[in-house]
Amino acid sequence: MRLTSLIFFVLFCSIQLTSHADEATSAEDSSEADVRDAVVKVHVSQRSPDFIRPWTKGRSRQTSGSGAVISENRILTNAHVVLYADRVHVQGNQSSKRTLAEIVAVAPAMDLALLKVKDESFFEDKPALEISGDLPRLKDTINVYGFPIGGEQMSVTEGIVSRIECTRLAYSGVGLRLQIDAALNPGNSGGPAIADGKIAGLAFSTITTADNIGYVIAAEELTRFLNSINADGEYAGKPAVYDGTQTTENEVLREWLKLDDDQGGLLVTSPYDPDGPLKELDVITKLGDHEIDRKGYVQVTEDLKLSFQYLVPHLAKEGKVPVTVIRDGTETTLEIRVHADREMLIPVLAGNYPSYFIHGPILFTTPSQEFLKGLRAATMTLAGMESPLVTRSVERPKPGEELVMIG
């Protein structure tokens, strides 16, 4: 009798454990299915600028990317997926139907864009994904969903977070970027990177010369982007500091600046605001109460250091951030202005077309950073000629100043 009872107890426990395992597997399968249903393929008809003939546009070409359904029947994707779009369609997973979408807001410098679909029935079987409020840790597992080239079906790649940085995302935009060891390919752009069932970021680039290195815009940047869009769909921008600086790692430089061994800081080489409180050769040693090290990094968590730029939007109030600087050997506290966008003599088009004026046979047009990319082979020649196309390309223009090309 005792043996029979023991056998029954063991079998009962086995049944219970199996039942719980089945429930867990079912929950995981349900969550996986929800994520798949919330990922869409973005089809775009694009016409890029024609820099030789600015009065016209380039030939129409068909491209595609990925997107993620989020709250309020919105779709999040990358700006570079939809820039210069004539028409945008979205297509659900396992669906052959393409539905017309429109661009609500775009932030080229952060490489983010928001879409909406007028036909609300499109979202009936597409649960909204939640954007995570936590920054993943190194070695955390992430799954990237999307529709890369090489097939028609959805692709899911798994990787781990191998690096977290605050760096340039696109154009002059600086933001939080995750490096993962999952393979990303053209078409993955805009697809969600999922951790614990939530969006940990948005896939946006890769290194073609290296294996399995992909980059993801962190969830924190997605939330800030969404919160910075007004009722008219205008993106307010992200506060940043654009003063030219260099690190203070060089010992000869440190000796000349009379910096103590335990002092870090960034040397100001070109103040962005000519009339601002920062001066050339100032050394910024603190942002708020956060010490800046010799490389320009601040301690964010116990095991993570990031560029000081990461803290700028967190500390900015009424368009300013407090800094501590050393000027001529004396420490002082200042408030410097932050800017939502960077003004440059040669601007970024970021989805716009070049301006031009034709008088008789003469064409007057303005150069852009995108135009300069096409001059890579001639860059050295232009630099030797001291052409402002090279020597002043990222300078802040003087009031009323505009660079014009004649053709």
What CATH number does the domain containing 153 carry? 2.40.10.120
Whether residues 318 and 371 fall in one domain:
no
Q: How far apart are CA 151 and CA 65, in angstroms?
A: 13
Q: What contacts 256, CB < 8 A, 6 or more positions away? A: none
The catalytically annotated residue of 189, 205, 307, 393 is 189
Count the residues in the chain.
407
Q: How far is CA 216 from the centre of its chain?
A: 8
Whether residues 48 and 169 fall in one domain:
yes
| Boundary (domain end) residue, out of 236, 253, 284 | 236
Q: How far apart are CA 177 and CA 365, in angstroms?
A: 35
Whether residues 81 and 194 fall in one domain:
yes
Would residue 23 count as lying in a domain?
no
80 is catalytic: yes
Total domains, the chain: 3
The catalytically annotated residue of 64, 89, 111, 341 is 111
Cβ 188 vs Cβ 215: under 8 Å: no
Whether residues 248 and 368 fall in one domain:
no
189 is catalytic: yes
What CATH number does the domain containing 271 carry? 2.30.42.10
Would residue 225 count as lying in a domain?
yes
The catalytically annotated residue of 43, 80, 89, 339 is 80
pLDDT number for residue 246: 96
Whether residues 320 and 271 fall in one domain:
yes
Domain hosting 88: range is: 34-236
CA distances in angstroms from 184 to 49, 76, 159, 190, listed in the order given: 27, 18, 10, 11
111 is catalytic: yes
Q: How far apart are CA 68 and CA 358, in angstroms?
A: 43
Give average pLDDT by consecutive 10-residue segment, the chain, 407 residues.
34 33 39 90 94 90 96 96 96 93 95 95 94 93 93 92 94 93 89 95 86 92 95 90 95 93 94 93 96 96 94 95 94 95 89 91 91 79 82 86 90
Q: How far apart are CA 305 and CA 311, in angstroms?
A: 11
Name the DSSP letter for residue 161: E
Whether residues 88 and 214 fall in one domain:
yes
Whether residues 67 and 156 fall in one domain:
yes
Q: How far apart are CA 111 and CA 169, in angstroms?
A: 7
